[in-house]
Amino acid sequence: MPETRKGRALFAPLAAVLALAYPAAAAPAPQRVVSMNLCTDEMAMLIAAPGQLHSVSFLAADPISSVLAPEASRYKANHGQAEEIFLMQPDLVLAGTYTTGATVDLLRRLGIRVEQFAPENSFDDIRAGLRRMGEVLGQRQRAEDLVADLDRRLAAVKAGDHDGMTAAIYYANSYTSGSGTLIDDVMAKAGLTNIATKFGYAGMERLPLELLVLSDPDLLVTADRGYSAPALAQQGFDHPAFRAQAALSGAVDLASRYTICGAPFTAEAVRLLSQGADARKAAPK
């Protein structure tokens, strides 16, 4: 035994040198990927190599929610059910951190690799998410290209002088978004002050119509206000006080598909808000 230990001690430095000279081969990129979350759907569609992505969630084909709805038809749709995902025989499943928890748990117990991604709440989160997706798909250069594309798009936005201008986001059911949300960072990049953040709101909270009117924002931002069918969730947009405020402030209807998930296309939301603020400034109250 002493001789064995001595031999191991002698060969240890040699083994370390060989490990540096001949590093272990990188794990092969997954070949059959299934995504069951809208945001991982879109990132994977942007980053995956041809033939690498097999299935995306059914939400990816919804033009209201997904910027890449036309591209989604290239992939098999799934509804996040463990049985259907397992039968697809994926070697990697992409999921969100707040959805399909039971499916994720069951797939992992069945020995399937699952990578979960948290929602993007800032442009830094978008960059980190794209890079991580590039890592797990074995497409690092493609991810870096997309990060560079995002930065180019943001730099190309001709932000006017919006210093001191306030904006209010008003969703269906009277919800707004405060600090710690992607739309809040979008507003900041457009040079606007989010009144919800100013009031101390964090995440998504209800903004009473009375408070919206009293705050008298310079720009009113709505999302998908032109809903095609009658809905109680949309009735706040028909209230006389809201319509009066929209006429007074000037309103920008920003399609929610640009801010539900983060990607280079989120820079378009910055451009649209900056453009809306420029128009509002040119036509003061």
pLDDT tens column, 125-171: 999 999 999 999 999 999 999 999 999 999 999 766 787 899 999 99
Per-residue pLDDT, 7: 47
Q: How far apart are CA 119 and CA 122, in angstroms?
A: 9
Per-residue pLDDT, 2: 45
CB 224 within 8 A of CB 64: yes
Task: Please provide the distance, in angstroms rounded to a whole number, between the alpha carbons at the two ends of the chain.
Answer: 90
Degrees to nearest 5, angle at CA 141 with 138 and 144: 115
Residues forming beta bridges with residue 115, ordered by sequence position: 94
What phi-psi label fits residue 218: left (phi over 0), alpha (psi between -120 and 50 degrees) or beta?
Answer: alpha
CB 202 within 8 A of CB 230: no
Backbone angles phi, psi at 96, to 5 degrees: -90, 165
Domains in the chain: ranges and CATH: 22-153 (3.40.50.1980), 166-282 (3.40.50.1980)
| Pick from 78, 29, 26: nearest CA to 49 | 29
CB 252 within 8 A of CB 219: yes
pLDDT at 3 over 70: no
Q: What integer is the mean pLDDT of 245-252? A: 86
Q: What is the pLDDT of residues 37-50, one digit of tens each?
A: 999 999 999 999 99
Q: How far apart are CA 39 and CA 262, in angstroms?
A: 7
Residues forming beta bridges with residue 267, ordered by sequence position: none
- Alpha-carbon 281 to chain mean position: 30
- Record the tokens describing residue 225, joined without a space: 């206000």
Helix (H) or strand (E) holding 158: none
CB 9 within 8 A of CB 96: no
Q: What integer is the mean pLDDT of 224-244? A: 75
- Alpha-carbon 101 to chain mean position: 19
Per-residue pLDDT, 23: 44
pLDDT at 12 over 60: no
Per-residue pLDDT, 217: 94
Mean pLDDT estimate for the chain:
88
pLDDT at 280 over 90: no
- Enumerate helices (H) and strands (E) in the chain, giving the number of each: 12, 11
